Structures are given as structure tokens and as C-alpha cells.
């Protein structure tokens, strides 16, 4: 559903942000200034006692100086209530007394059809609940008691029972006035070849499946008969239910995760119920299929780092490996997975019933990052006693890493794989007799002093670049958003530069008051920076020309990042040279040198800022658009 132009803007003007936020926080009245619309409170998004969460009612904007959460009324409702964009808009519209835009006739007809299906589903859930109390459901009640599921818990989860009768549910729904075709459309019943209608779920314990809004959209059934063709049966695909786009226990898990609980992904209904009843409320499960890409994206909308809780048997490990292959291309910064492997082939329900919630918490605390399981998959049970086998491992791992689209994450995965590889092969590669070349004392040579001076000169030059770049950003704070990701990953040697970079990133959301906030947080460092002679005379720092400032920052970032990358490659190469030098090593060094030379080609100080300025601006714009500070992969 699309919103008409201006609807969101009007919504923001009708509701004050402080009234929305005020329902979730306790204002610090000593720090707040109501007359100016300036509100402060402890942040609702992370645990703290100080009032670092700021609401500016006049601008309709909030920012936390602790966790850096920021946004407007819509984003606040999305994050605090853990809902989607349209749901947040609907909540705010009700708050503001605004009517949501009318739908087109076809959309309204489709929505009415779905509403009728939901009504039938909810009536069926009630009917199944009643059947659980009948004498025919005795074995089902015994089974639930054996699984330590109390009657109160059964009521919370709306667990029911489907009797072993061909048309019991169908007749009950017809008597309530529902059309046969609509009953079939829900997936509760099916039509036989002879045209007769029969109940799809028979002699099964029933688990309602609900969508993100809490509406019953399908059922899951656990067979009571040992010889049933399927132990667990889910409803078919319908207008309400797409098993690859839904999660069991979605809505309650989303609410619990929004309150800070970790999201746990289990295998089945009983695992989710056991986890939730034991206090792990943010638990979900896929619906009878392997985890799909849509389900993975749903999980990340609920929590940035779900924990996949796997049975410790071979099937559980295979399921984990399938999730890894699915997740690798989708990884983004702040969006990952961890894996908790349960002991002895147990599932979460078994572990909790046997050893309690504490045992489950210990397993979750030991959850491993995905890179560990990727490494385990490629190395466990294998022998790498020859160069050919080691080369095969390297080729397989490179192929896996190249599936990661995010260059930053791919780089960090590569570093971790390199560390694990060294742990596996390091003692076989390094010579074991006597100290290594890296540790052995180096005799002074004629070039040693020259190399030291060259290194010092390079560090001085990099310090000058960093000083001018940081001073330019402080004087032109509107540029920070453009270079924010590059600044976050940039390594600076001088502690003052590091402190200023951290302060700039923390207060980037308040460009109008950035300098005052940075001065308050890193005052001596800022004073020292601005007093430096090369900063005092640098045109980008004192000129109001935003284009010149932008080009200066882009050039500095390109040079600094290229130099850092070249230095890292040289350090890595020094380690690798304890073995045989290969084509890959020389290629890496050549690429690092080429990147540094390319970044060093442009020089604002030597450029003619007259006729050549347009060409220079175009060149630097290409640097910015190409994000030359991001290390390219082979």
C-alpha cells in the first residue's frame, strides 16, 4: 500500500515526538527544557542510568549519545515496538486522529477475502481447543503432560486437537455459516477427486501458526499415530499462508527481542514453546522447511544477530551449513548470525526438560560466530598433509568468501580465516630450529637509518593529512555523513586524531552544534589541532567552499587508506615469506603499491586552482564515487 504525497509530513507535524517517546521513557526534568522543546532521558534502546537520549521537539528528531540511535517519530515507533514501517505509520495515525488513506477497490476486495479466511481460521482454532477436552483427546493430553506442558501453557499457545474423523471440522465450520469453498481456501480442508471435502488434519495435536500481527493463518499438526505418513504436518500454501515467508511465534518473539532478548531460531514448535516457557521469549522456528532467504531477512528485522540453536546431531549440523550458504551473500555490517550447537544430539526442549533453563543459557552464551562453522565445515575430519590439499582448502575458502558482497565484512572474514589457517598450519610452516627470522636480532646495516627516517617522514606526512582532514570536517560538518563509513574503518596513529574522529562520529547527527560538542568532549585535542600551523593556513579549513572541502577530505581519505592498506599487505607478506614466495604474494604487493600510487597522484596543494580546478574536481569526484578507500579484492 502506497501513501499519498505529504501524508507522512502531515503525520509528523500532528504528533509531537516527545509525546510518543514519553510513553517509553522517564524524562530528566533537571536537564530538559520544555519551553524550547529540548528533552533528555535515559535511552530506551540500551541499558543506562544517565540521560544521554535527546529529543528535539522542534525538529522532530531524536539521538542517543550512548548507542547512537537516531531518527524521527516513525523510526522511533518502528524500533521501540519492533514493527514495520506501515505498522508504525498506522500507530502514529491513530495517535494523531488521522485516517489512513483509502485503498483501491481491488485491494479492498482482496483484503476482505483475507479477512474472511482469518475469521474461519480463528473459529477453527477455538474448535480444536474444545476438542482437546474430549475423551478422544486423552492420549494427546497425556503426551502434552509428558512434555511438561501445563494446561496454562496449552492455553497460552492455543494448542488443540483434531479428532480422527473425515469431516468433523468441516461440518462444524459449515454450521457456523462459512461457505465450503472458503473453508477449503483456508487449507483446513481439502477436496477429494470425487468432489467431496475432507479434513486435512486428523488425529493430531494442533499448533496454530500466526503472522506478525498475531492473526491465525495456518496450522501445524503433530501425529498421534506412530505409523502416520508425516510426524508433523503444516497447512498448504494459501492466500493467507506462505511457509517460506513466515515464522512460528513471530509476533511475541519480535516484542521480546525489542525489549533486549536475543532471538533464538529453533527447529520446531515444541522447541519454541519450551524455550519461551523457560523465559527465552524471543524464539522462532521455520515452518516445516529449511530456512529460506525471506525468513532470514525476517529474522534480521527482528534482531541483528539471531542465534541458530541446532540439534547436536548430523542433521542439525547439515541444517547449519545450509543456513551458512544462504546467509553469506546477505551479510551486512551489523547483520550476522551465531550458532549454538546443543550437546549429545539434544534439542532445546530435551535440554530444558533434562537440565533446566540454566543449561540452555550456557549453550547460548557459547554460541559461535558463523565464520567458525564455515571453517569447521571445510576442515573437520580432513587431512592437509600435502601442498595440494592445502591449496584445495584455500581455493574452497576463497570461493566462499567471494560470495560475501559487503567488502568490509569480506575483509574481516578473510582476516579471521587467515588467523585460523595460521593456527592450523603455522607450526608446520615456520622453521622450528632456533628463533624465527622475525624474532632474531637484526644486525645494523647502512640503510637502517635511512629507512627509519623515511618511516618517520611518512608518519609525519600522514599526520598532516589527518589533521587537515579532521579540521575540514569540523568546519564543514555537513560532509561527515558522506564519509562516515570510511572514517569508522580508518586507523589513525595519533591518539588526539583517534579521539577527535570518535567525537566527530558520535555527534555527526547534530551538525549545527558539532564543533561545540566535539570541543566539550575532546577540548584539548581540538585546540591543539586548530593551532597547528598547516591547519591554520589550509584553504579547505577556512574557506566556505564546500566543494573544495569535500575534495580535500576525499583526497586525504584515499591517501591514508591506501597507505594503511599497503602497510598491512607488507606486514602480512613478511609473515608469508617464511614459506615459499608465490605469484599471489607478489600480486598482493603490486596491487597495494598501485593503490597507494593511484591515491598519491592527486595533490590539492600542487594543483592550479584556476583553469584546472574543474578537472581536479572531476578527478576527486571519481575518487569519492569509487570509494577508493575501500580495499578492492582480487
Checking 574-578 for CB contacts under 8 A at 24+ apart, the result is 574/438, 575/422, 575/438, 578/429, 578/430, 578/431, 578/436, 578/437, 578/438
Whether 136 and 163 have beta carbons less than 8 Å apart is answered as: yes
**pLDDT exceeds 80 at position 245:** yes
pLDDT of residue 606: 40
Instruction: Give the confidence band of 276 by pLDDT, cuts at 50, 70, 90.
Output: very high
Instruction: Give the confidence band of 498 by pLDDT, cuts at 50, 70, 90.
Output: confident
Which residues does residue 160 pair with via DSSP β-bridges, in sequence order? 206
Lowest-confidence range among 258-272, 483-497, 604-618?
Answer: 604-618
**pLDDT exceeds 50 at position 605:** no
**pLDDT exceeds 50 at position 393:** yes
**pLDDT exceeds 50 at position 357:** yes
pLDDT of residue 612: 42
Work out the mean pLDDT of the chain and round it to a whole number: 80
What is the arithmetic mean of pLDDT over 573-582? Answer: 43
pLDDT of residue 439: 41
Instruction: Give the confidence band of 451 by pLDDT, cuts at 50, 70, 90.
Output: very low
**pLDDT exceeds 80 at position 353:** yes
pLDDT of residue 440: 41
pLDDT of residue 332: 83
Question: Could you report the per-residue pLDDT of 17-40, keeping only the tens digit for each?
Answer: 888 888 888 888 888 887 677 889
**pLDDT exceeds 70 at position 456:** no
Lowest-confidence range among 356-360, 375-379, 514-518?
Answer: 514-518
Q: Which three cell numbers stand for residue 485?
A: 563509513
With pLDDT > 90 as the criterion, what percentage of the chain qualifies?
32
The fold for domain 105-241 equals DNA primase DNAg catalytic core, N-terminal domain (3.90.980)
3-state SS record for 230-261: CCEEECCCCCCCCHHHCCECHHHHHHHHHCCC
The contacts of residue 337 (CB under 8 Å, 6+ apart) are: 305, 306, 307, 308, 323, 324, 327, 370
Residues of the chain with CATH 3.40.1360.10: 250-376
Instruction: Give the confidence band of 579 by pLDDT, cuts at 50, 70, 90.
Output: very low
Whether 200 and 187 have beta carbons less than 8 Å apart is answered as: yes
Q: Which three cell numbers stand for residue 401?
A: 568468501
Residues of the chain with CATH 3.90.980.10: 105-241
- DSSP assignments along 150-198, one per residue: -HHHHHHTT-EEE-S-SSHHHHHHHHTT--HHHHHHTTSEEE-TTS-EE
With pLDDT > 70 as the criterion, what percentage of the chain qualifies?
80
Whether 51 and 41 have beta carbons less than 8 Å apart is answered as: yes
Give the pTM: 0.57
pLDDT of residue 433: 37
Question: Could you report the per-residue pLDDT of 517-560, keeping only the tens digit for each?
Answer: 888 777 788 888 888 888 888 888 888 888 888 888 888 888 87
Which residues does residue 265 pair with via DSSP β-bridges, in sequence order? 284, 308
Task: For residue 500, report the phi and psi dihedrals to the nearest 5 degrees.
Answer: -70, -40
- Look at 89 and 451; give whichever has higher pLDDT: 89
Q: Tell me the C-alpha distance between 514 and 36, whole Å.
A: 19
pLDDT of residue 610: 36
Whether 620 and 554 have beta carbons less than 8 Å apart is answered as: yes
Pick the CATH number of 7-96 from 3.90.580.10, 3.50.40.10, 3.30.465.10, 3.20.20.450: 3.90.580.10
**CATH number of the domain located at residue range(s) 250-376 in this protein:** 3.40.1360.10
Question: Could you report the per-residue pLDDT of 97-132, keeping only the tens digit for each?
Answer: 887 776 656 656 666 788 899 999 999 999 999 999
- Look at 56 and 175; give whichever has higher pLDDT: 175
- Look at 248 and 502; give whichever has higher pLDDT: 248
Amino acid at each position: 500500500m502506497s501513501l499519498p504525497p505529504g501524508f507522512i509530513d502531515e503525520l509528523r507535524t500532528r504528533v509531537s515526538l516527545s509525546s510518543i517517546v514519553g510513553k517509553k521513557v522517564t524524562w530528566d526534568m533537571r536537564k530538559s527544557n520544555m519551553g524550547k522543546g529540548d528533552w533528555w532521558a535515559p535511552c530506551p534502546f540500551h541499558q543506562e542510568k544517565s540521560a544521554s537520549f535527546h529529543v528535539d521537539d522542534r525538529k522532530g528528531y531524536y539521538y542517543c549519545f550512548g548507542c547512537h540511535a537516531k531518527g524521527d517519530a516513525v523510526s522511533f515507533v518502528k524500533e521501540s515496538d519492533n514493527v514495520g514501517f506501515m505498522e508504525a505509520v498506522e500507530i502514529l495515525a491513530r495517535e494523531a486522529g488521522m485516517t489512513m488513506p483509502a485503498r483501491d477497490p481491488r485491494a479492498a476486495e482482496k483484503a476482505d477475502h483475507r479477512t474472511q479466511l482469518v475469521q474461519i481460521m480463528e473459529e477453527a482454532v477455538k474448535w480444536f481447543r474444545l476438542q482437546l477436552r474430549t475423551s478422544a483427546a486423552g492420549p494427546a493430553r497425556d503426551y502434552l503432560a509428558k512434555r511438561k506442558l501445563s494446561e496454562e501453557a496449552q492455553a497460552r499457545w492455543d494448542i488443540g486437537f483434531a479428532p480422527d474423523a473425515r469431516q468433523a471440522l468441516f461440518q462444524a465450520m459449515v454450521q457456523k455459516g462459512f461457505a465450503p469453498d472458503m473453508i477449503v481456501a483456508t487449507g483446513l480442508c481439502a477436496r477429494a477427486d470425487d468432489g467431496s471435502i475432507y479434513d486435512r488434519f486428523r488425529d493430531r495435536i494442533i499448533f496454530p501458526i500466526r503472522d506478525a500481527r498475531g492473526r491465525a493463518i495456518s496450522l501445524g499438526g503433530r501425529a498421534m499415530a506412530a505409523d502416520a505418513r508425516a510426524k508433523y504436518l503444516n497447512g498448504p500454501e494459501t492466500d493467507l499462508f506462505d511457509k517460506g515467508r513466515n515464522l512460528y511465534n513471530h509476533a511475541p518473539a519480535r516484542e521480546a527481542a525489542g525489549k533486549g532478548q536475543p532471538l533464538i531460531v529453533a527447529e520446531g514448535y515444541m522447541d519454541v514453546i519450551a524455550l519461551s516457557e523457560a523465559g527465552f521469549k524471543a524464539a522462532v522456528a521455520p515452518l516445516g522447511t529449511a530456512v529460506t532467504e525471506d525468513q532470514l531477512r525476517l529474522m534480521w528485522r527482528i534482531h541483528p544477530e539471531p542465534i541458530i540453536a541446532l540439534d547436536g546431531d548430523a542433521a542439525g549440523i547439515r541444517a547449519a551449513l545450509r543456513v551458512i550458504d544462504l546467509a553469506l551473500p546477505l551479510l551486512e555490517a551489523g547483520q550476522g548470525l551465531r550458532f549454538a550447537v546443543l550437546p549429545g544430539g539434544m534439542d532445546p526442549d530435551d535440554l530444558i526438560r533434562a537440565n533446566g533453563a540454566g543449561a540452555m543459557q550456557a549453550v547460548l552464551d557459547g554460541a559461535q560466530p558463523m565464520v567458525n562453522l564455515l571453517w569447521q565445515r571445510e576442515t573437520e575430519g580432513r587431512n592437509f598433509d600435502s601442498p595440494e590439499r592445502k591449496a584445495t582448502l584455500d581455493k574452497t575458502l576463497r570461493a566462499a568468501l567471494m560470495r560475501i558482497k559487503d567488502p568490509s565484512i569480506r575483509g574481516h572474514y578473510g582476516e579471521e580465516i587467515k588467523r585460523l589457517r595460521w593456527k592450523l598450519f603455522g607450526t608446520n610452516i615456520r622453521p622450528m630450529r632456533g628463533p624465527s627470522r622475525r624474532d632474531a636480532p637484526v644486525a645494523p646495516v647502512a640503510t637502517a637509518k635511512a629507512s627509519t627516517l623515511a618511516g618517520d617522514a611518512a608518519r609525519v606526512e600522514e599526520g598532516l593529512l589527518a589533521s587537515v582532514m579532521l579540521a575540514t570536517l569540523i568546519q564543514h560538518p555537513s560532509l561527515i555523513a558522506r564519509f562516515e563509513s570510511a572514517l569508522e574503518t580508518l586507523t589513525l596513529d595519533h591518539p588526539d586524531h583517534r579521539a577527535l574522529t570518535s567525537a566527530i562520529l558520535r555527534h555527526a547527527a547534530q551538525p549545527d552544534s558539532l564543533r561545540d560538542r566535539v570541543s566539550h568532549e575532546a577540548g584539548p585535542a581540538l585546540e591543539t589541532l586548530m593551532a597547528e600551523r598547516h591547519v591554520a593556513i589550509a584553504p579547505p579549513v577556512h574557506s566556505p567552499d564546500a566543494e573544495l572541502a569535500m575534495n580535500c577530505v576525499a583526497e586525504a581519505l584515499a591517501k591514508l587508506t591506501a597507505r594503511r592498506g599497503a602497510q598491512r599487505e607488507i606486514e602480512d607478506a613478511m609473515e608469508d615469506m617464511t614459506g615459499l614466495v608465490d605469484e599471489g604474494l607478489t600480486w598482493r604487493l603490486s596491487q597495494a603499491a598501485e593503490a597507494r600510487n593511484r591515491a598519491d597522484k592527486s595533490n590539492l596543494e600542487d594543483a592550479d586552482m584556476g583553469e584546472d580546478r574543474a578537472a581536479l574536481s572531476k578527478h576527486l569526484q571519481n575518487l569519492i564515487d569509487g570509494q577508493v578507500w575501500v580495499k578492492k579484492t582480487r
